[in-house]
Amino acid sequence: MTLIDLANPSRFSALTDRVLPWLSSATLLAFAFGISQAYLAPDDYQQGATVKIMFIHVPAAWLGIFAWLLMSAAALGTLVWRHPLADVAARAAAPIGAAFTLMCLVTGSLWGRPMWGTYWVLTLVGAINIPIIKFSVDWWNTLHQPASVLRLGGSTIHPTILVPLIVMLVAFTLLFLTLHLAAMRNEIMRRRVRTMMMLRADARAGP
């Protein structure tokens, strides 16, 4: 099966039926390992146990941005190439991305309050705002620590914290992929049911 074949909704649905059980199992295993590593990770010498909020906050922030990029690419696929699954992908990603963005906002506020004495809110305005979001931690770092994972000089996080963080990033990404594929399959089925109902209504109406 080629990528072009996946443009067919029926073939895509058949593929998701085969992939989702494996993807779900990988997600559960990644979360089990990640949570255990996060539990065993030491407290930060400055932030104490609250530093462990990063194991949820950072993956949620990454997936909120990823979902926006995915929807932007899907919108481009709909407008330019009229790809039959592009609109399905965008529609399926929107609520999942919104949920991860909400998770990012809540955990960021909970983390910020004991650390900096204030709650802070991050708002996704649009795809053009993504680089601003990424580099804002360096440009305006009075209320947010600078980038510490992806930086030119290498990560500044100790391996005991970095390893569970990366595992949780993988686990949350697998969760996103699982939810997104399942949502796309459900959206395809919903559209088929709607089309069948419309055809049935037209047939009853007659000439």
Q: What is the chain's pLDDT, residue by residue, as a tens digit (207 residues)?
A: 555 666 788 888 999 999 999 999 999 999 999 999 999 999 988 888 998 999 999 999 999 999 999 999 999 998 998 888 999 999 999 999 999 999 998 898 888 888 777 666 744 445 566 676 667 666 665 555 555 555 545 666 778 888 898 999 999 999 999 999 999 999 999 988 988 888 888 888 766
pTM for this prediction: 0.74
Q: Are 167 and 27 in contact (CB under 8 A)?
A: no
Q: CB count, 10 Å around CB of 2?
A: 7
* Alpha carbon distance 199, 25 (integer Å): 39
Give the helix ranges, DSSP H, for the chain: 9-40, 54-76, 86-116, 130-139, 159-205
pLDDT of 37 = 95
**What SS3 state is found at 141?**
coil
Tokens matching residue 92: 């399926």
Tell me, what's the pLDDT at 128?
Answer: 63
pLDDT of residue 3: 56
Distance between CA atoms of 179 and 99, rounded to whole angstroms? 11
pLDDT of residue 1: 55
Q: Based on the number of CB atoms within 10 Å of its own CB, is 90 exposed (0-12), middle (13-18) or buried (19 or more)?
A: buried
Position 124 scores a pLDDT of: 40
Q: What is the pLDDT of residue 125?
A: 44
